[in-house]
Amino acid sequence: DQQVKQNSPSLSVQEGRISILNCDYTNSMFDYFLWYKKYPAEGPTFLISISSIKDKNEDGRFTVFLNKSAKHLSLHIVPSQPGDSAVYFCAATEGGSNYKLTFGKGTLLTVNP
Amino acid sequence: DAGVIQSPRHEVTEMGQEVTLRCKPISGHDYLFWYRQTMMRGLELLIYFNNNVPIDDSGMPEDRFSAKMPNASFSTLKIQPSEPRDSAVYFCASSPDRSYGYTFGSGTRLTVV
């Protein structure tokens, strides 16, 4: 039973356009959400996060949106660059003393020049 | 800061052999996590430690898997005996606090033949 779901295994966009990666979750106890980027033969690297008390967090070209009622979050990359081509993982954690992250299966983003 | 260091990068072993994976977390990070990545299940948490103490090992597949953290700068994940279905990429990660996300190592690709 997957608690964090990324339903699109892959996404292809043109350089300069917007990339939108989506993530759904089922566990209502999740209160902190993160996005990671992973290049081949490397570990995932932290990209951006959002607390459940917010609905938007922005960091340069990256913006994460959270819709708690829909249990949905998305990552927007504007403008997309070829170097953004990677696998993106959505992750979530519960509140309190639980520090473990539950990951989605990832979305492969390809940005074409 | 050298980041999270994992060794070896690649391990090929025969079924039935003992395998030991090693991890050195970032200094000052109180949390250490072991994850396994497979095509079928994605990134799944095996076990995590806080201040060298195992907190949650509910993800450890079976008794063949064991993990230790004898001090703040070293952890091992041992599989004995190994089986072909253990073939995966094993990641170690550390964190000072969940709000900072995790820092992952580059992973150990394990192949059991």
DSSP H or E stretch at residue B69: strand B65-71
Tens-digit pLDDT profile for residues A60-74: 999 999 999 999 999
On the question of pLDDT at A39 being above 90, the answer is: yes
B96 touches B81 (CB < 8 A): no
Cβ <8 Å between A46 and B100: yes
Residue A32: list chain B partners with CB under 8 A. Answer: 98-99
The DSSP result for A33-82, as a single string, is EEEEEE-TTS--EEEEEEETT-SEEEETTEEEEEETTTTEEEEEESS--G
Tens-digit pLDDT profile for residues B9-19: 999 999 999 99
pLDDT for res B80: 96
A46 touches B101 (CB < 8 A): yes
B50, B55, B107 ranked by CB distance to A43: nearest: B107
pLDDT for res B99: 65
Q: Which residue has tokens 């079924």?
A: B15
Does residue B8 have a cis peptide bond before it, meaning omega lies within 30 degrees of 0? Answer: yes
Does residue B61 have a cis peptide bond before it, meaning omega lies within 30 degrees of 0? Answer: no
